[in-house]
Amino acid sequence: MIQIEEIPAEDIADFWAIHYEYLIRDGIITDDEDKAYFCSNGYRSVIHHHMLREENRHHMVYFLRNGLRVGAAQYCTYKDEGGKCFLMDFWVFPRYRDIGIGHECFKSLQEYTQKDGAVFYEINCTKDNAVRFWKSLGFRENGVDEYGDPLFVADIV
C-alpha cells in the first residue's frame, strides 16, 4: 500500500533538489534556458506562493511504500474548473520503476485527491514511456497545452 506524505511549504528544499535531478535524468528539460528556469527563484517562489493560497492550492507529495519514499508528485485541484486535478509532475524514483509501483502510486493519489474535490485528472507529457504509462491508467488524448505539448485526461477510475 502506498501512503501520501504531504510536503509543507516550509520544507520544500529537499523536494527541489530531487525534482531538478528528475527533470534532467528523465530528459524532461534539456536546454540551458529550461535548466535555469526550473532552478530560478522566480519559478520556485511562484510555486511556494501557490502552496500557501487557500483556493486551488498547489501540493507537493511523496509516495511512501513501507515507510520509504518511492516517488513524488506536484498537483493542483482546480475546484473552479469542475474539479480538474492537474498533475504538474508525477514520477517514481528509478530503482522502483517497472514493477507496478507507479500504478499503485496513482491509485493512492486518486483516493487522496478525491477527498479534496478531484473529479478528473489532466497531465501533459511527450515521452513515449510516459504516454504508455498514462494510457495504461485510462488517460486519453485531450489536445495540447500552451506550449504545444500533448495533454491527457482521465476521469476517476
Please tell me which residue, 46 or 157, carries the higher pLDDT value: 46
pLDDT, tens only, 97-156: 999 999 999 999 999 999 999 999 999 998 898 999 999 999 999 999 998 989 999 987
DSSP for 95-143?
A: GGTTSSHHHHHHHHHHHHHHTTT--EEEEE---HHHHHHHHHTT-EEEE
pLDDT at residue 29 greater than cutoff 70: yes
pLDDT for the residue numbered 157: 57
Distances, alpha carbon 15 to alpha carbons 18, 101, 103, in Å: 5, 20, 21
- Kindly give, in sequence order, each residue whose CB lies less than 8 Å from that of residue 113, ignoring residues fewer than 6 positions away: 75, 77, 85
pLDDT, tens only, 34-68: 999 999 999 999 999 999 999 999 999 999 999 99
